[in-house]
Amino acid sequence: MAAASLAPLVEPVAALSPGERERTARHHVLVPLGEVGQRRLAAAHVAIVGAGGLGSPTVMALAAAGVGTLTVIDDDVVELSNLQRQLMHRVADVGEPKALSAARAASDLAPEVRVHAVRERLTPDNAAHLLAGADLVLDGSDTFDTREAVAAGCEQLGVPLVWGTVQGFDAQVTVFWSAPPAGIPAVRLSDLYPTGSAGDVPTCAEVGVLGSLCLQVGALMATQAIQLIAGIGEPLLGRVLVIDGLRASQRTVPLKGVAREDAPPRDPSPRAAVAGGSSAPGPVESRIGAVPERIRPAALAERLEQPDAPLVVDVREIDELRTGMIPGSLHVPLGEVRADPDGVARRVRDEAGGRGVAVVCRGGVRSAQAAAALAGRGLDAVTLEGGLLAWRGPLAMPAAAR
């Protein structure tokens, strides 16, 4: 079934105010959006979950576009490290609730927008309540548990969900809708991630995120929202847009039902990051290898006492080493593994001298990725389950971190 425009989500308001009509004038000449489409935007109510890396550009884009009502749901406060990608917030906002900062930014851009700032964490218990009344939901949350709760709430309410994710240099955008118009197959989060398939979910603090890519993905999510509200174009319902920031490439992967007939075969594992943030397995996992074998901290401590003790490879960043390293560890940041896995594998093989390899990081997510890369290149590599957070053995302060 070929993709096609869907019916508009909302009826248009009767008229725009003179100020709003002038502010959004460049939309009025756009075909097929036009003045009627702009009045539909003014009538729409969009809920945005997360006011972080993806929530920032979507709030600004939708406010500027003239969406009449925004509900911004976030229980976090602005931190200095957020400002690399969350351009809605300012240095002066550090320590302030993100939802209130979002309301300020939206009002600065479009004084007529009505912003409901909800300083509350969305959970499975309150999702439907917090999202009630919205015509459409955008998910920019930063944990997969929250994303599942958002998706379940949208399914309960029958409203479309625009879903975007970023991890590192990779991203995905799609649309889920459990109750689309007649004749259009339903598409749910479980069609992309079957229940329980997400596995361990890294945070952006662990694997990093390109700030400019958050802006790109947030803008794409806002565009999807505009298309759905106004009933124009071909929304990504049934298709996943996959973005590779390092290779400047984009492609759509058929997901279900309304994918184009001329699209390439479906990726058997169209995984993506979770972002708001960002997190989740996916582009990284598919790029550097399969899920590696894990070793428990007690078992590693025991093996390190043996004559053939494995080489410990620590893939944290250098500033993290101040908390200490397992004595004798080789320091190779994950970024080096991703940039040159073959070269790192040769170096580790030389250092190991035939011994096994145990890869460690703070929480066990980055080490799993690095161990997969090394195992895929013939090394006997395992990852420390739970990372150094679970380690109870000795730690030493490396000279590089003193």
- What angle do helix axes 341-352 and 365-375 make, rounded to 10 degrees? 80
How many CA atoms within 13 Å lie on the side-chain side of 303? Answer: 18
Residue 75 has pLDDT above 70, yes or no: yes
Residue 87 has pLDDT above 60, yes or no: yes
Average pLDDT, the chain: 88
Q: And the tokens for 102?
A: 């979002």
Q: Which strands, in side-by-side order, build the sheet including 69-73?
A: 114-118, 69-73, 45-49, 136-139, 161-167, 170-176, 239-244, 249-254
- Which of 378, 337, 377 minimizes the C-alpha distance to 360? 337
Tell me the C-alpha distance between 332 and 370, whole Å. Answer: 10
**pLDDT tens readout for residues 353-402:** 999 999 999 888 889 889 999 999 999 999 999 899 899 988 987 765 55
DSSP H or E segment with residue 206:
helix 204-207
In the residue annotation, 204 being an active-site residue is answered as yes
Summarize the confidence of residues 43-61 as an average pLDDT: 97
In the residue annotation, 154 being an active-site residue is answered as no
Amino acid making up residue 3:
A
Task: Check 67, 78, 204, 226 and give the catalytic one.
Answer: 204
More confident residue, 382 or 269: 382
- What angle do helix axes 211-230 and 34-43 make, rounded to 10 degrees? 100
Q: And the tokens for 109?
A: 């851009």
Residue 317 has pLDDT above 90, yes or no: no
**pLDDT tens readout for residues 95-152:** 999 999 999 999 999 999 999 999 999 999 999 999 999 999 999 998 889 999 999 9
Tell me the C-alpha distance between 70 and 110, whole Å. Answer: 11
3-state secondary structure of 284: helix
H-assigned helices in 134-246: 144-157, 189-192, 204-207, 211-230
Pairing status of strand 161-167 against strand 136-139: parallel
Tell me the C-alpha distance between 323 and 120, whole Å. Answer: 33
3-state secondary structure of 252: strand
Regarding pTM above 0.95, the answer is no
3-state secondary structure of 311: strand
How many CA atoms within 13 Å lie on the side-chain side of 9? Answer: 28
Determine the pLDDT at residue 396. Answer: 85
Q: Could you count the other beta carbons within 10 Å of the beta carbon of residue 152?
A: 17
Pairing status of strand 69-73 against strand 114-118: parallel
pLDDT band at 197 (very low <50, low <70, confident <90, very high): low
Task: Check 361, 365, 373, 375 and give the catalytic one.
Answer: 361
